[in-house]
Every structure is written in structure tokens, then in C-alpha cells.
């Protein structure tokens, strides 16, 4: 690699966004997939990372059968370019493996091999979307802390609201300055989404002295389930459906807002540092 190319990779920056669910089943994987498709259509170079390393999900949603997974990257049996899948609209997908341990459960050698492999793609994207595992475990937290922006997905269910607040509390306890936005999935309409947002935001303001931003609603829409069953992104299969319009609206906000950018290699380095810290705890 020439010095010029090396410098270019080192300076390449990306928006890094971790999409997390207040609990399992809130629709974060569908959200992150369709955000990636929308951004890809608008000529962004998108890297979509399945952050739940041991449970493949994103490749299933688009009907892809990976030859290699992140496990091969960890074992040093494949390079990043061999592992990445070509998804819709030019999106590159880093698929999870089967039974791969959490980052904080890996030994130092395996983590180092993984992050060395990921660093090969230091200039391969200008937007990185990370679909974290559900809940508030240490690996999920590390993925959030390394990103420049976090989207928390909730639903109108009372238990989901409580879990969303817990997610904010844990994240801001570690990093009070982290930018966090809320998405209300399966909302009946914008009024319900605004009501849900106010409940969580007011509680956060009162007890956490912080307040998330709002990216609005994704409407409750049967087309989403139909797209999942056919293993295609909603934006490709039903582009005029109510939920598809919501996905596009949220993607536009991510694309247009001046969210912090960071050298992509710094994201992987930050993730490695956070997993080491979580391991010490």
C-alpha cells in the first residue's frame, strides 16, 4: 500500500450509528436494514454490521446465504472482503456467525484478530449502521459507546417504555454526552409516537438530567411482516407502504443532520477499548 493510499484510509471518516432495542422484538433489525437501503439509494456507501455476533439475523432478512461469517474473520480463515455480503442498493453487510461468543467473552487474541480484520475496511464506508443485540448487556453497551450516535427503538407497550428508559440510564451513566435519539416503532400515528416520546423524554429529563432526541414514528403496518416472510427489505418490496415512508423519513434525518463523523478505524479501536473495559468490570 502506498503512503498516499495509507493516508487516505487513515483520514476517511464515517457516521457511525448504533441501533439498539429496548428489548427483543421491537423491530430494530427491520429499521436498521431499511435505513441502510434508503441511504444506499442516496449514494451513501453503507456498511451494515450485525452486532449480535452469535445470532445471524440481517442476512436472513435479505435472503442471503453467507459463505463466510464473522467467525471466519475471528479465526483468521477469511479476509474482510471475503466475509462482506453484497446487499441491496450497494449496501455491504457483515454477517454474524452461529454460536460466536460476545466480544467481552472472547480472549484477547480473538478480539485482536477480529479488530485487525475489521480495520482493513477503514475507508470502505461513509455510514456504518450497527444492529446491536437486544437488551443492555456489556457487548451491546460497548457497541453503543463506540458509535457517534445511538438510536433507541421502542414500542408503545408499557414494558418497552420501561426498558427504553433503562437503556438511556445505563448508557448515559457511562457517557453522559452520548447523542441518543428515540424511534417509536409500531405506532398507530404521529400523535401516539409523540406521546410515547414525551413520557420517556420527560422521565429522562427529571431523573437523568438528560433528554433524547426524537426521530419520530414507524407506523404499525402489516407490510413489514409480509416483507420479512419474503426475506426482502420493505423499501424494495412495498416502497409506498406507510412504514416504508417512515423509514425513508428517518433515513433522511440521519443523512441530513450534522452528526459527528469519526475515522472508521477509530470506531473499531474504540470498540476494542470498550470491550476491554467491560471485561475488567
Decide: 234 and 247 in contact? Cβ < 8 Å.
yes
| pLDDT, position 2 | 39
Q: CATH no. for residue 176?
A: 3.40.50.300
pLDDT tens, position by position, 71-112: 888 888 888 889 899 999 999 998 887 666 666 677 777 777
Contacts of 189 (CB under 8 A, 6+ apart): 217, 219
| pLDDT, position 4 | 39
φ, ψ for residue 93, nearest 5 deg: -120, 130
Cell numbers placing 69: 461469517
- 262 inside domain: yes
124 pLDDT more than 80? no
- Rounded to the nearest 5 degrees, what angle is found at the Cα of 269, between the Cα atoms of 264 and 270? 95
3 state DSSP class of 19: strand
Contacts of 56 (CB under 8 A, 6+ apart): 50, 66, 69, 95, 96, 97, 98
Q: Is the pTM of this model over 0.85?
A: yes
pLDDT tens, position by position, 41-80: 999 999 998 887 767 788 889 999 888 888 888 888 888 8
| pLDDT, position 6 | 39
Owning domain of residue 169: 14-280
Decide: 188 and 197 in contact? Cβ < 8 Å.
no
Q: How far is C-alpha 103 from the geometric centre of its chain's CA atoms?
A: 16
Cell numbers placing 183: 424511534
21 compared with 215, residue with greater pLDDT: 215
| pLDDT, position 156 | 95
| pLDDT, position 248 | 98
Residue whose C-alpha is closest to residue 30's, from 173, 192, 227, 194: 227
- 154 inside domain: yes
- 5 inside domain: no
> E strands within 84-133?
85-86, 92-94, 127-131
- 21 inside domain: yes
Locus of grid cell 408499557: 158
Residue whose C-alpha is closest to residue 181's, from 147, 138, 135: 147
- 215 inside domain: yes
Instruction: Express as a percent the part of the chain with pLDDT over 90.
Output: 53
Q: Mean pLDDT across the stretch 208-229?
A: 97
Decide: 125 and 47 in contact? Cβ < 8 Å.
yes
| pLDDT, position 8 | 42
- 264 inside domain: yes
- 4 inside domain: no
| pLDDT, position 101 | 63
| pLDDT, position 237 | 96
- 184 inside domain: yes
| Number of structural domains the chain divides into | 1
Provide the pLDDT confidence category of residue 113 given band limits of 50, 70 and 90: confident
| pLDDT, position 72 | 84
pLDDT tens, position by position, 226-273: 999 999 999 999 999 999 999 999 999 999 876 667 777 777 777 777
Amino acid at each position: 500500500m502506498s503512503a498516499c493510499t495509507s493516508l487516505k484510509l487513515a483520514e476517511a471518516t464515517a457516521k457511525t450509528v448504533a441501533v439498539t432495542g429496548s428489548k427483543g422484538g421491537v423491530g430494530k433489525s427491520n429499521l436498521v436494514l431499511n435505513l441502510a437501503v434508503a441511504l444506499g439509494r442516496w449514494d451513501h456507501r453503507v456498511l451494515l454490521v450485525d452486532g449480535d455476533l452469535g445470532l445471524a439475523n440481517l442476512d436472513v432478512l435479505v435472503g442471503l446465504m453467507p459463505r463466510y461469517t464473522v467467525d471466519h474473520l475471528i479465526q483468521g480463515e477469511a479476509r474482510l472482503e471475503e466475509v462482506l455480503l453484497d446487499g441491496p442498493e450497494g449496501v455491504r453487510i457483515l454477517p454474524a456467525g452461529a454460536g460466536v461468543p460476545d466480544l467481552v467473552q472472547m480472549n484477547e487474541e480473538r478480539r485482536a484478530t477480529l479488530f485487525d480484520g475489521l480495520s482493513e475496511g477503514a475507508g470502505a464506508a461513509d455510514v456504518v449502521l450497527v444492529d446491536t443485540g437486544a437488551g443492555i448487556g456489556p457487548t451491546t453497551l460497548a457497541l453503543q459507546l463506540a458509535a457517534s450516535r445511538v438510536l433507541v427503538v421502542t414500542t408503545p407497550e408499557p414494558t418497552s417504555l420501561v426498558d427504553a428508559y433503562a437503556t438511556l440510564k445505563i448508557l448515559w451513566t457511562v457517557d453522559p454526552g452520548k447523542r441518543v435519539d428515540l424511534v417509536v416503532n409500531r405506532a398507530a400515528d404521529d400523535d401516539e409516537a409523540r406521546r410515547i416520546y414525551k413520557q420517556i423524554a420527560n422521565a429522562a429529563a427529571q431523573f437523568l438530567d438528560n433528554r433524547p432526541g426524537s426521530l419520530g414514528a414507524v407506523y404499525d403496518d402489516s407490510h413489514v411482516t409480509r416483507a420479512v416472510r419474503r426475506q426482502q427489505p420493505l423499501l424494495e418490496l412495498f416502497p409506498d407502504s406507510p412504514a416504508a415512508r417512515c423509514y425513508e423519513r428517518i433515513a433522511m434525518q440521519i443523512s441530513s443532520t450534522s452528526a459527528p463523523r469519526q475515522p472508521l478505524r477509530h470506531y473499531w479501536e474504540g470498540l476494542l477499548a470498550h470491550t476491554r473495559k467491560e471485561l475488567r468490570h
